[in-house]
Structure 1
């Protein structure tokens, strides 16, 4: 058997097993997707600059939600928990029905480690490559840490950044990926507005996220 497929099988089974579980989650009534506008008011631009500044100053954060991941014909979905402390990340994906899960950790100068695979963990220097080799999926982990909060990734200027009428990102194109921001949590109690639903696409690779809750990462 091909060695890569030996690694792909357990995670693929995990994701397929999660399909039924995620399908049973009650769906929130989705708001109409806002259009990208040609011009944003000065007030909206200032609000977005303040939002980005506030988020970049908050280096420890977390979210819980649902993820759907696909690469060509290979894909599935499950529950996701993401905790970020500076450059260090801990991402967990779980299938409630099968009670299977895997965990990806790394960053801040530490090697990347993927646990939960049959045969033991996989390690490497690049989170995206570790996942690609183990699962066959293309997931830009380091960039998603910025994109998921509605921020361009730190590595280079985006090719395109379009906004909705409220000045929030609507379409971001960077490093070969297009990220569509489809729904937002409003700003409240001193907290900036954060994405509720995003979709990232690069060729036949797709990552869709629905964030159920944002929070602070535990120290």
Structure 2
């Protein structure tokens, strides 16, 4: 009996069985990476120009939040719609998109995610007025990442707001073409994004290759006096 078991264990499986095992292992690994580590997202609009262009693919870090990391000022984050920010109906995915979204190479057509820059975190006070720079806790921000020709707040001024604990204030880099926190201050939620809605931080532009770039936190968010 022992010799029969050893003979079976050492027998070479058919090529199709080997391929099935390899594909299964790759799929499980891809799903694990997508769920817990890194996922690719496609930029759906011009609201983050020129930092991100429509159609860019960014890689999003979903791993560090598992260790308690919180979104920080200046980071570009992907987050789930807090409610009412996206009105369009989810599109029906084609077969290719379904496969690529399954392994994390594309977002699902049914996902309602947005991408913006974190300007302020819980406890911060934000001032956004016509003719003035954005101020966080009274400190003016120098924002070289804003789309050329756009103003920090002129098109959607909101005065002064205080970000609740556990929430974020987010804005697009193309301020004249971004339906961000400013546009939702009079809606349920006050324009704030719950930290729990954050999927992860976008840390690099991965595609197209000619636009490869990292997405570091701009130096303006390191100013003395900004943190409380």
TM-score relative to the length of structure 2: 0.27
Larger Rg: 2
Structure number with the higher strand fraction is 1
